[in-house]
Amino acid sequence: MTRKLKIGITCYPSLGGSGVVATELGKLLAEKGHEIHFITHSVPFRLGKFHKNIFYHEVEVNDYYVFRYPPYDLALASKMAQVVQMQELDLLHVHYAVPHAICAYLAKQMVGNQLKTVTTLHGTDITVLAQDESLKDLIRLAINSSDSVTAVSADLIKETRELLDITREIDLTYNFVDKRVYYPRECQSLKADYAPNGEKLLMHISNFRPVKRISDVIDVFARVAKAMPAKLLLVGEGPELTKAQCQINKLGLENRVHFLGKQDDVAQIISIADLMLLPSEKESFGLVALEAMACGVPTIGSIAGGIPELVTHGQTGFLSPIGDTESMATNAIKLLSDPDMFRQFREACIQRARLEFCNDLITAHYEQIYYRTLGIE
Ligand code: GMT
Q: What CATH architecture does domain 188-356 belong to?
A: 3-Layer(aba) Sandwich (3.40)
* 278-322 pLDDT tens trace: 999 999 999 999 999 999 999 999 999 999 999 999 999 999 999
Strands (E), the chain: 6-10, 35-40, 54-58, 91-95, 116-121, 148-151, 171-172, 200-205, 230-235, 257-261, 275-278, 299-302, 317-320
159 Cα–ligand 1 center, Å: 15
Q: Is the pLDDT of residue 133 over 90?
A: no
18 Cα–ligand 1 center, Å: 6
pLDDT band at 64 (very low <50, low <70, confident <90, very high): confident
Q: Is the pLDDT of residue 1 over 80?
A: no
pLDDT band at 128 (very low <50, low <70, confident <90, very high): confident
Provide ipTM, 2 decimals: 0.98
Question: Residue 265: its pLDDT value, please?
Answer: 79
- Please choose from 285, 311, 362 the residue to mutate so as to test ligand 1's pocket, defined by most ligand atoms within 8 A of CB: 285
291 Cα–ligand 1 center, Å: 13
Burial of 175 (0-12, 13-18, 19+ CB in 10 A): buried
Q: Is the bond preceding 70 in cis, omega lying within 30 degrees of 0?
A: no
Q: Is the pLDDT of residue 377 over 80?
A: no
Task: Indicate the pTM of the whole model.
Answer: 0.96
DSSP 220-251: HHHHHHHHS-EEEEEE---TTHHHHHHHHHHT
- Please choose from 159, 211, 283 the residue to mutate so as to test ligand 1's pocket, defined by most ligand atoms within 8 A of CB: 283
* 99-120 pLDDT tens trace: 999 999 999 999 999 999 999 9
Segment holding 83, helix H or strand E: helix 72-87
Q: Classify the C-alpha dihedral 268-184-300-257 as positive or negative.
A: negative
Q: Is the pLDDT of residue 29 over 90?
A: yes
Measuring CA to CA, which residue among 267, 260, 284 is closest to residue 353? 267
- In three-state secondary structure terms, 112 is coil
DSSP state, 99? I
Measuring CA to CA, which residue among 36, 33, 42 is closest to residue 13? 42
10 Å Cβ neighbour count for 197?
A: 7
Residue with the nearest Cα to atom 23 of ligand 1?
283
Question: Residue 129: its pLDDT value, please?
Answer: 78
Domains 6-176+358-374 and 188-356 share a fold: yes
**Mean pLDDT value across residues 21-27:** 97
59 Cα–ligand 1 center, Å: 23
The Cα-based distances of 108 to 66, 86, 113, 125 in angstroms read 27, 14, 6, 21
10 Å Cβ neighbour count for 131?
A: 10
Q: Is the pLDDT of residue 227 over 90?
A: yes
Q: Estimate to the nearest angstrom the gap between the alpha carbon of 332 and the chain centroid.
A: 24
Q: Which CATH superfamily is domain 6-176+358-374 in?
A: Glycogen Phosphorylase B; (3.40.50.2000)
Q: What percent of the chain lies above the pLDDT cut of 70?
A: 100
Measured from CB, residues less than 6 Å from any atom of ligand 1 are 16-19, 21, 122-124, 152, 175, 207, 209, 211, 282-287
- Residue ranges covered by each domain of the chain: 6-176+358-374, 188-356
The mean predicted confidence, pLDDT, of the chain is 95
pLDDT band at 356 (very low <50, low <70, confident <90, very high): very high
**Mean pLDDT value across residues 168-193:** 95
140 Cα–ligand 1 center, Å: 20
The Cα-based distances of 286 to 38, 136, 252, 345, 367 in angstroms read 24, 24, 30, 18, 23
Q: What percent of the chain lies above the pLDDT cut of 90?
A: 88
pLDDT band at 134 (very low <50, low <70, confident <90, very high): confident
Question: Residue 126: its pLDDT value, please?
Answer: 83
pLDDT band at 66 (very low <50, low <70, confident <90, very high): confident
DSSP state, 313? B
pLDDT band at 159 (very low <50, low <70, confident <90, very high): very high
Burial of 137 (0-12, 13-18, 19+ CB in 10 A): exposed
